[in-house]
Structure 1
C-alpha cells in the first residue's frame, strides 16, 4: 500500500508547496482545562474555508503546574467525534505518545479510524515529555526514547506489512496464524514529532514525514536541508514532507509588525503572509496554526486567515 493513494496526504503535501491547518483546542490557554465549547462549529468553519487539516494532541493528566492541557478529551475518542462531524478535512494526531500506548492498541485504533473515515488520518507519533502522564501510568519517563523506538517499529510493521511476524517484549504476533483487524484502507502516514529521543538519521529513514516545532527561519531551513539530504540517502526519490506548528496572535491591524510570543508571533496578516512565504521557500510543506495565545475571538481570526491568507496556500486538489 502506498501513500500515493492516500487522499488526505496528497491534499496536504506536495513538493515545494505548503498548506495550512489548525491545532486544537481553538481557544487561549489558561490554568484551567479548555472549555471546548464550540470546537465542532469551528472545525466545520475551518473545513468549509478550505484549510487542509485539524490536529489533536495526546494529553492524559491535568498538571496543576502547567497551562498546557491539550484538547481535554482522549485523543482517539475526540478525533473520531470531530471526524464524524466534518466531511473531508484531514484529522492529524500531534501526536500519539507511543510510550504511553501499547502499539497493538494504537494500531487497532488507527486502522479503525481509517476504515470509518477512509484516507483522512495523518498519524504523528512522539515519545512524550509530560512527567505527570508518565507518573500516572507507572512508566519511567527516562525510558521513553527506548520505548518509543521499540513501539514505533512494532506499530509500523503492523500498519505496513500484510502478515508480520513480531517477537517483542511488548508482545508476539504470529504472522501465519493471526493478524491485526481491520486492515487500513491505504497506507496510514506515520510521522515522527520532534526528535522523540532519536537521531535525525533514524527519523529520516523511518518516518513517512517529520513534524517539528517552530524555530527561526534560519534554524528551520538548516534543519530541513539536513533532513531532506538524509531522507534522500535513506529513501532515494521518496517525498517525506516536513510539517511545523506556529503559535500566532493575529492582530486586528493588518500592518502590525511581528513581536515575539512563545513559539511564534503576534502580528498583522500582511506580515503573516510574508512569514508564511518564507516558510514555504525553505521547504515547510504544511503549517498548523496554534491559537493558544490569541486575544481575538477565534471565529474572527479563522475567518480572516481563511479569506486573506489561505488562497495563497490552498489545499491541493
Structure 2
C-alpha cells in the first residue's frame, strides 16, 4: 500500500521501512546566542520562538520527505519553565498544518489529557484525523506542570485516574459516556493512534497494553537501550520514538559533542548516531533545532540530501 495512501494507518506510515526521521516544532533556532539576541530585540518572551517562517518551513519539511512533524501542548506560558513551545493551541495548529501540508504525519508530543475536556478532545482529534487524511499521531501525557491544573479546575493528584478514563473515551468514541442517540462527529475513520510520553502515572504493564507507541525522552543510545528493553517487555513490537536536540555543524566530519538531550556534530556523526539508535530498536527519531546555529532551511535541506537516504527506503506510490 502506498505510504501516502489515506487508508494506510499513521502508525504504519511512521514505521514504514523500519526507521524514520521527523522534526519537532517550533521551527526556530531561538535557543542560540543569535536567536536570543533577536528575541530580545523583538520583545518576545523568554522561550517564545519566532514564528514568522513556521508555515514555509513546515511545507519545506513536508516536501523534503521528513516523516513526521511533532508539536507540543503548552496551554499556558509559565516563565519558570521559560518555554512556550510552538505557541499555538495544539489542535488548532494541527488543523492549520493539515491544510498546508500533504504527506508529513502530524504528531502531538504530547497532549495533556487530564486538563482537557474529554468530549472536545475527542472531537478535535477526530477532526484533525479527518482533515489531514489520517495523518494524526496522537501523543498523550498526564502532564508535569502543577500550576496548570488549578487553572483548569482539575485535580493534579488524580491525573492518573483521569488519564485512564480519557484513554477509554478516545478508544470507544465516547459511546460509553453519551446517552443513546448522541454521537461525537466526525466519526473516527480508524482508531486513534495513541503514543504515550513517559508513563503518565500508570504501571508499565498498563501502558504496554493500552498504548500504541512510546514517546521517549531524549537520551544517548545507551539510555535508550535500557528503555527499549523495558518497553519491549510490556509492549512487544509497538513503535518506540524519541527526540534529539541537534546543532548541525557546517563541516560534515565535525565530531559529536554530546550535551543534555542532544549534541552538536556534522552530518557524518549524526548519521552514525541514527544508525546506532536504529540498531538498538528505535523506530522513529524526531530532530529538534532550537539550538541549531545555522539557518533552518539550509539545515533541513542538508539532512534531506545526505541523511534521509540512509534511512528512508523509497516506497512504491509515495509522492
Match for 1:287 among 280, 285, 288? Answer: 285
Q: Helix, strand or coil: the match of 1:10? A: helix
Match for 1:72 among 81, 87, 93? Answer: 87
Aligned partners of 1:315, 1:120: CA distance in 2, in Å? 19
Within-5 A mapping of 1:175-254: 176-232=180-236, 239-254=237-252
Cα deviations by residue, 1:35-83 (Å, 9 ceiling, x for unpaired): 2110111111111111111111111111122222111010011111111
Structure-2 residue corresponding to 1:169: none
Within-5 A mapping of 1:1-317: 5-14=7-16, 17-27=18-28, 28-29=30-31, 31-158=46-173, 164=175, 166=176, 172-174=177-179, 176-232=180-236, 239-314=237-312, 317=315
Q: Helix, strand or coil: the match of 1:77? A: helix
Report the TM-score, using the length of structure 1 for normalisation.
0.87
Aligned partners of 2:290, 2:156: CA distance in 1, in Å? 26
Q: Helix, strand or coil: the match of 2:108? A: strand
Q: Which runs of 4+ in 1 moved over 4 A?
A: none
**Are the aligned partners of 2:109 and 2:139 in contact in 1 as well (CA < 8 Å)?**
yes
Aligned partners of 2:226, 2:218: CA distance in 1, in Å? 13
Aligned partners of 2:230, 2:13: CA distance in 1, in Å? 25
Aligned partners of 1:23, 1:205: CA distance in 2, in Å? 27
Report the TM-score, using the length of structure 2 for normalisation.
0.87
Cα deviations by residue, 1:58-111 (Å, 9 ceiling, x for unpaired): 111111222221110100111111110111211111111101112211111111
**Are the aligned partners of 2:267 and 2:303 in contact in 1 as well (CA < 8 Å)?**
yes
> Could you say if the C-alpha distance between residues 154 and 187 of structure 1 is closer, same or farther in structure 2, counting changes exceeding 3 Å?
closer
**Are the aligned partners of 2:219 and 2:260 in contact in 1 as well (CA < 8 Å)?**
no
Q: Could you list the runs of 5+ residues in structure 2 that have no partner in the other structure?
A: 1-5, 37-45
Shift of 1:270: 0.5
Aligned partners of 2:82, 2:309: CA distance in 1, in Å? 33
Aligned partners of 1:95, 1:315: CA distance in 2, in Å? 27
